[in-house]
Amino acid sequence: MFWMSTAVVSTAIMGIVSIVDSHLISKRMPRLRSFLLLLGILQLGFSIGTFAFNPLPKEIGSDTLVTAFTSGTLRSLGALLMLKTMRFEEVSRVSSVVHTFPIFVAILAVPLLGEVLGYTEWLAIIMTVAGAILISINRDPHGRGTRLRKSFAMLAGSSLLMGMANIAAKYSLDYISFWNMYSVTALCLATVFLLFSLRPWIVKELLELKQRGQVLSLLLINESIAIVGVILSFWAIERGPVSIVSTIMSIRPGFVFIYSLSLSLFLPGALEEQLSRGIIVTKVISIGFIVGGVALLTLRI
């Protein structure tokens, strides 16, 4: 059962990565593409390094290779949507909605695998969706009603892509190592991010960036930490049931909320988090619904 504690450690680590990414995107970078260009270059280097250290097996089948790259591409597109939203939304809200992805895994299992969802599973789905909607509600400060934030659809799309990526990764990890899966994912991330951001004017903008050395150091440290978190998550998926590992990973919003709350209290201005009593209570209830619903859903499958 060591894979369970590994999944928890991975989730806690990736919570830290989310916080630092949010700080860099919202406070340090002139625009999202600047961040993605640097991230793409780092991911390309990490991918080449891990491919050299642990190359793909020679006997790998074409279907496994296609599935692995499909998983990496889906995860990259999901990450792109998530990071784009992080530019103007609180990281605790972003993480909460994105980590509803196990409900998509369960729903997709009905037509793809012929599974049947009972009353308990549908209750869990309703709980999870309710939590995601609650944390995404934008209340008018003048009391003129409420509405869903514009980012909700984008984050739901990110969540769907992440869920599909996990399903594909689980299949691939039956034939390749977690190191191979990381290498493929890093290469896909690099490709997607560089295609989106590699422009001459973005390069010029980065060269003129204030405190460039400090920003680059923070980004390098954070992405090095991310490597540990991602590899541990693939290791856990390889050795444990993907449904339970996904459940454990869905508690990342809890870690993100605790980290962001602590950082906002001790280093005000580091993040764009609002800390009124009502907002904190709403976030706690929403995250509770999401984590509880995902746990109830995936532990029943």
Residue 143 backbone class (left: φ over 0; alpha: ψ -120 to 50; beta: rest): left
69-102 pLDDT, tens per residue? 999 999 999 999 999 988 888 887 888 788 777 7
Res 142: pLDDT: 45
Question: What's the sign of the alpha-carbon dihedral 285, 286, 287, 289?
Answer: positive
Which of 10, 7, 20 lies closest to 219 in space, CA to CA? 20
- Report the alpha-carbon distance of residue 250 to residue 252 in Å, rounded: 5
C-alpha radius of gyration, the chain, whole number: 19
- Report the alpha-carbon distance of residue 278 to residue 127 in Å, rounded: 20
Res 195: pLDDT: 95
- Report the alpha-carbon distance of residue 101 to residue 161 in Å, rounded: 8
Res 300: pLDDT: 53
CB 16 within 8 A of CB 141: no
**pTM over the 0.85 mark:** no
Write b or e for each residue in 167-177: b if 16 or more Cβ atoms lie within 10 A of its Cβ, otherwise e.
bbbbebbebbe
Res 146: pLDDT: 53
Which residues in the chain show pLDDT less than 70? 1, 106, 109-117, 136, 138-149, 242-244, 269-276, 297-301
- The H-or-E segment that residue 139 falls in is strand 137-139
Please give the C-alpha separations between residue 133 and each of 2, 97, 298, in angstroms, as whole numbers: 34, 8, 20
CB half-sphere exposure, 218, CA atoms < 13 A: 19
265, with CB counted inside 10 A (0-12, 13-18, 19+), is exposed
Res 285: pLDDT: 83
- Work out the widest C-alpha separation in the chain, in whole angstroms: 64
- Report the alpha-carbon distance of residue 70 to residue 292 in Å, rounded: 30
175-226 pLDDT, tens per residue? 998 889 999 999 999 999 999 999 999 999 888 888 888 888 999 999 899 9
- The H-or-E segment that residue 73 falls in is helix 62-86
